């Protein structure tokens, strides 16, 4: 068996690795050295299944009982960006979307600024067709690289996938390790960077920053916005334990280090019920809820 070169740890509290900042532990956490090492780990007897893939830990809530299996964190080992010329960019799955947006702006590659509004990595953006400010990830994807459950690497065309709103399907039992994006080239770097700064300033003005949050909690229903439905249902500021609905943007749940995952999940359920009662719309979570609940002890 190929010797693993990454970092494997047991029983790791995940608060520092997720933007929700709750402490459910991972049974195992692996940080691969590179794509080849990732393949070796996935294929090894060392790897505990199931696998959970982690970038910056946004849009993810790990329950207080933690995760059984292996959490694979790509942000350190798969973090390269390569300029292929004429707007084509090869990007590893662990690259932060905001970093890619800045990188493209500096080189005059357009239509990438929306990526700065995605608080995660390229791998997560590919997996859910993440979007912001009217842009969506897969609109710019030419091809992707993946690893399968046996550790084998594959390269696939964007045409191999069915893409929808926050939904991607195709090539089952494979996980994204990178992509080639095709952006318009020849733009003015100064103008593109100024536009990016404007978008980030608007985001800071309208969304909660400097406080623990998993990002947007719910998908926008067709023809409407989750935040509008939540606010008009009278839920801004509503609390469950240490978590509450942000007063700044109603589609965010925030806390200051005192919330448990069960507090946040209870608030998600409460929002769904109240919005459905008020508007007849059942909101679908965008945040992924995984792991095991803590036994009550009663």
Give catalytic residue positions: 166, 216, 286
The β-bridge partners of 88 are: 85, 182
133 vs 155: CA distance, rounded Å: 29
Instruction: Name the 3-class secondary structure at 37.
Output: helix
Give 151's contacts (C-beta < 8 A, 6+ positions apart): 38, 39, 40, 41, 42, 43, 44
Return the number of other C-beta atoms located less than 10 Å from residue 65's C-beta: 15
Task: Report strand pairing: 162-164 vs 7-13.
Answer: unpaired
| Ranges assigned E (strand) in 135-173 | 135-136, 141-148, 153-157, 162-164, 167-169
Phi/psi class of residue 129: alpha, beta or left (left: φ > 0; alpha: ψ in -120 to 50)? left
Instruction: Name the 3-class secondary structure at 205.
Output: helix
Burial class (CB in 10 A: 0-12, 13-18, 19+), 258: exposed
Return the number of other C-beta atoms located less than 10 Å from residue 14's C-beta: 25
């Amino acid at each position: 068996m190929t010797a693993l070169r990454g970092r494997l740890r047991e029983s790791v509290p995940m608060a520092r690795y997720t933007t929700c900042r709750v402490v459910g532990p991972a049974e195992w956490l692996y940080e691969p050295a590179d794509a080849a090492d990732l393949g070796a780990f996935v294929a090894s007897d060392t790897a505990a299944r199931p696998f959970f893939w982690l970038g910056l830990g946004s849009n993810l809530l790990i329950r207080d009982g933690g995760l059984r299996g292996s959490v694979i964190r790509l942000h350190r080992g798969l973090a390269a960006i390569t300029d292929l010329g004429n707007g084509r960019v090869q990007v590893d799955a662990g690259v932060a979307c905001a970093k890619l947006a800045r990188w493209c702006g500096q080189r005059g590659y357009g239509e990438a600024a929306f990526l700065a509004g995605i608080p995660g990595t390229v791998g997560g953006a590919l997996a859910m067709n993440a979007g912001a400010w009217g842009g969506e990830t897969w609109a710019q994807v030419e091809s992707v690289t993946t690893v399968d459950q046996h550790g084998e690497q594959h390269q696939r065309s964007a045409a191999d996938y069915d893409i929808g709103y926050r939904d991607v399907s195709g090539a089952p039992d494979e996980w994204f390790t990178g992509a080639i994006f095709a952006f318009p080239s020849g733009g003015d770097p100064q103008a593109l960077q100024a536009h990016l700064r404007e978008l980030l300033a608007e985001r800071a003005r309208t969304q909660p920053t400097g406080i623990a949050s998993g990002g947007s909690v719910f998908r926008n229903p067709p023809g409407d916005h989750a935040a509008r439905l939540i606010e008009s249902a009278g839920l801004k500021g509503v609390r469950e334990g240490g978590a509450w609905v942000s007063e700044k943007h109603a589609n965010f749940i925030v806390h200051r280090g005192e919330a448990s995952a069960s507090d946040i999940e209870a608030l998600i359920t409460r929002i769904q019920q109240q919005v459905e009662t008020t508007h007849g719309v059942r909101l679908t979570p965008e945040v992924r809820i995984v792991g095991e609940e803590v036994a009550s002890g009663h």
